[in-house]
Amino acid sequence: MNRSVLFDSPFLLGFEHTRSLIERAAKAAAESYPPYNVEDRGDGGIRITLAVAGFSPDQLEVTVEDRQLTVVGRRNDNAARPEDAYLHRGIAARGFIRSFVLADGMVVEEASLAHGLLHIDLARPEPEKRVLRVPIRTGA
């Protein structure tokens, strides 16, 4: 894997995790199927919509692991019947894996499938404000 010159500076120590996030985001950006939209829903909410025409809910999987949202679509190769004779086949029938890197605190609220579109709603809840009282020791 190519190492970023930016993070190889001796003045940036301990940023391996940030480099890993940037590499994961670059890899995810190189994917082109299926097409998707990202909408700002206000109040920290985001909706990702993927065009997954022809996929049923049992052929789709949405997971979050280590701040990476992954959507997998698996097609059954036996879905096409032998008697089907296409004159034109423009609807993609291949499986896919699409990944998105999530910021700290982002949570997936729900995923829904309607009219060939998979909607994934994300939120960033307000972090609870915590005050830590630090005891003061005396020199005695």
What are the pLDDT digits (tens) for 105-136? 899 999 999 999 999 999 988 878 889 999 99
C-alpha 103: how far from chain center? 10
* Residue range 51-59: mean pLDDT, rounded: 92
What are the pLDDT digits (tens) for 21-41? 666 666 666 667 789 999 999
Tell me the whole-structure pTM to 2 decimals: 0.69
What are the pLDDT digits (tens) for 69-87? 999 999 876 555 566 788 8
* Residue range 39-58: mean pLDDT, rounded: 92
> Quick one: pLDDT band at residue 13, thresholds 50, 70, 90?
low
| 3-class secondary-structure state, position 66 | coil
Residue 64 has pLDDT above 90, yes or no: yes
> Quick one: pLDDT band at residue 7, thresholds 50, 70, 90?
low
109 HSE (CA, 13 A, CB side):
12
**Long-range contacts of range 87-94, CB-CB < 8 Å, 24 or more positions apart?**
91/53, 91/54, 92/33, 92/34, 92/54, 93/54, 94/33
| 3-class secondary-structure state, position 79 | helix
